[in-house]
Amino acid sequence: MIALLLRDLKLAFRAGGGFGLGLAFFLIVTVLVPFSVGPQSSLLSTIAPGVLWLGALLACLLSLDRLLALDWEDGSLDLLATAPLPLEGVVTIKALAHWITTGLPLVLAAPVLGVLLNLPVPGYLWLVISLLIGTPALSVIGTFGAALTVGLKRGGLLLSLLVLPLYVPTLIFGAEVARRGAIGMETQTPLLMLAGITAATVALLPFASAAVLRINLR
């Protein structure tokens, strides 16, 4: 299991691994927002938590179609399925590797990009906390979507169509934590809901992902 995690991390950091693409996408989306809504700092600081959450979510989405498709194309998935690892473990590790290479950098970059959008000072802490708690759910849900569409040619667009509705609760509670934090409201309720979603998806969704992957492998 650890070998699989290390291999996936190594692959991501090697040339052509796609590490940093999500981060660059996040940066560009954030930079484009003031161009589209105008430079008024009051407006920007109001929408900053939501924009940063949406940007992180889209950056996450962007990298999902590589998550299992590469292993599918070169036959590694077949071989992993016949290896003595449970497929539930394989998809969990895949999601974890995706989070470390995509989610975690987004969490770390978000406060920097917050400066560009005039995020109010109390918001930084809550933005980082909400992303830190919420992005694992995005990776796990995304792995489920990737497992559903793994055998399909041009599955990328379908993957987005399937995953985006599943992202709604996470986005709502995550962005709500960041928004409330930024304007100094209490954040406990949405934070608990967000943590609950993450805990439940991490615990349960790998079973669905593995089941779906088994169906796609046959």
Q: Tell me which residue of 114, 68, 118 sits closest to 91, measured CA to CA.
A: 68
Asked if 75 interacts with another protein (CB under 8 A), we say yes
Asked if 45 interacts with another protein (CB under 8 A), we say no
Q: What's at 114, amino acid-wise?
A: G
Which one of residues 51, 59, 68, 80 is an interface residue with another protein (CB under 8 A)?
80
Q: Could you give the 3-state DSSP secondary structure of residue 69? A: helix
Give the contacts of 16 (CB within 8 A, at least 6 positions apart): none
* Nearer to another protein among residue 67 and residue 148 (C-beta): 148
The encoded tokens of residue 205 equal: 């969704």
Query: How long a stretch of residues is the chain?
Result: 218
Which one of residues 114, 136, 155, 181 is an interface residue with another protein (CB under 8 A)?
155
Asked if 79 interacts with another protein (CB under 8 A), we say yes
Which one of residues 36, 38, 42, 165 is an interface residue with another protein (CB under 8 A)?
165
The number of residues that bind another protein (CB under 8 A) is 52
Asked if 173 interacts with another protein (CB under 8 A), we say yes
**Region of 34-42, 51-59, 80-88, 94-102 interacting with another protein (CB under 8 A):** 80-88
Q: Kindly report the CA angle at 75 between 70 and 76, in degrees rounded to 5?
A: 75
Positions in 92-121 near another protein (CB under 8 A): none
CA distance 87 to 77: 10
Pair 59, 24: CB distance under 8 Å:
no
Asked if 46 interacts with another protein (CB under 8 A), we say no
CB of residue 147 vs another protein: minimum separation in angstroms? 9
